[in-house]
Amino acid sequence: MEYYNYIKSLHLIFVITWFAGLFYIPRLFIYHIEASQKPSPEREILSKQLQLMSKRLWYIITWPSAILAIIFATWLLVLNPSFLQQGWMHIKLAFVVLLICYHLRTHVFFKQLQRNQIKYSSNFMRIWNEGATLILFAIVFLVILKSTINWIFGVVGILLLGIMLMLGIKIYKRIRDKNPEA
C-alpha cells in the first residue's frame, strides 16, 4: 500500500485542476455573453477569441482533470473499501454526483456558447459560477471533519455561504452598474 499516497496525491491534484477549470470557465462565459453586446467587429473578434480560450480550457484541462480525478478516486475506494462503510463518505459521494451534474450542465452552456447561442445573462453566469464554490466547500469540510461535524451546523453553514455569495454578486452588480469600468 506504499503507492496509496501517490494515488491519493494524484487524485487531489486532478481535483484541484478540475475545480480550477470549473471556476474559470463561467468567467469566460460571462465575458463571451458581454462581448455579444458589443458593436461589430469587436463582438466577432472577442467572441472568436473567447470561444478558443473556452475550448482549450474545457477540453485540455477541465474534462481530462475530471476524468482523472474520478479514476483515481475510484482506485482509492477499491484499495480501501472501508471508506464506503462510513456515513460521511456517502454524503461526500452525493456531493461528487452533484459536482458531475454541475460539470455536465456547464458543458451544455459551453456547447451553446461555442455556437454563439446566448441564452443566459452574464448575471446568471455569475450566480452559476458560485455553484462549484459551494460544492467545494461542502466536500472539503466533509473530508476534513468527517463525522465530527454536526450536520445541522454544516447545512446552515453552506446555506449562509450561499447567501453571502449571492449578496456579494448583488453588491458587485450595483457597483458595476454605477461604474461600468469596474
13-70 pLDDT per residue, tens: 999 999 999 999 999 999 999 999 999 999 999 999 999 999 999 999 999 999 999 9
DSSP 59: I
- Residues annotated in a binding site: 11, 92
Is residue 41 reached through a cis peptide bond, with omega within 30 degrees of 0 on the bond before it?
A: yes
- How far apart, in Å, do the first and last CA atoms of the chain sit? 52
pLDDT digits (tens, 9 = 90+) for 96-142: 999 999 999 999 999 999 999 999 999 999 999 989 998 998 888 88
* Domain residue limits at 136: 4-178
The binding site for heme consists of 11, 92
Q: How many structural domains is the chain composed of?
A: 1
